[in-house]
Amino acid sequence: AQSVTQLGSHVSVSEGALVLLRCNYSSSVPPYLFWYVQYPNQGLQLLLKYTSAATLVKGINGFEAEFKKSETSFHLTKPSAHMSDAAEYFCAVSPGGYQKVTFGTGTKLQVIP
């Protein structure tokens, strides 16, 4: 069984401030972990993924996430928020292969000018 918990359904940051979106997971097998971003009225697109190659994963648009097995966490960060980062972000976990991907409930990021 697997599950994903995203802390905070809404997060607001000032432009230029640090972005931190939290994700904790549970999985009975070594997981693959993902962050997807959804801009208004669009589908989800991959931001970054952890596939066991490196614990610190860099993604698009300056985002990165660190896999911490001891904390079962995969938090998403960006040093300096930009107005264009306003979107909804989803954390997801998968055992791989045809096994189903489980999504968190999402965190809406608001960037205040």
Partner 1 sequence: NAGVTQTPKFRVLKTGQSMTLLCAQDMNHEYMYWYRQDPGMGLRLIHYSVGEGTTAKGEVPDGYNVSRLKKQNFLLGLESAAPSQTSVYFCASSDGGTRGDTGELFFGEGSRLTVL
Contacting range for partner 1; rule: CB under 8 A; set: 17-25, 61-69, 78-86, 103-111: 103-111
Identify which of residues 25 and 34 has a Cβ nearer to partner 1 in the complex: 34
- For 56, other C-beta atoms within 10 Å of its C-beta total 9
Residue 3 lies near partner 1 (rule: CB under 8 A)? no
CB contact at 8 A, 83 and 15:
yes
Q: Which helix H or strand E contains 109, and what residues bound it? A: strand 107-112
Q: Whole-angstrom Cα distance, residue 104 to residue 44?
A: 13
Kindly identify the residues of this chain, within the stretch 41-100, that bind partner 1 according to CB under 8 A.
41-46, 49, 51, 90, 92, 94-100
CB of 41 to partner 1, least distance (A): 8
Contacting range for partner 1; rule: CB under 8 A; set: 14-22, 35-43, 62-70, 73-81: 35-43
Q: Whole-angstrom Cα distance, residue 93 to residue 112?
A: 30
CB of 2 to partner 1, least distance (A): 11
Residue 29 lies near partner 1 (rule: CB under 8 A)? no
- CA 72 to chain CA centroid, nearest Å: 13
CB of 82 to partner 1, least distance (A): 23
The C-alpha angle with vertex 78 and arms to 33 and 26, in degrees rounded to 5, equals: 25
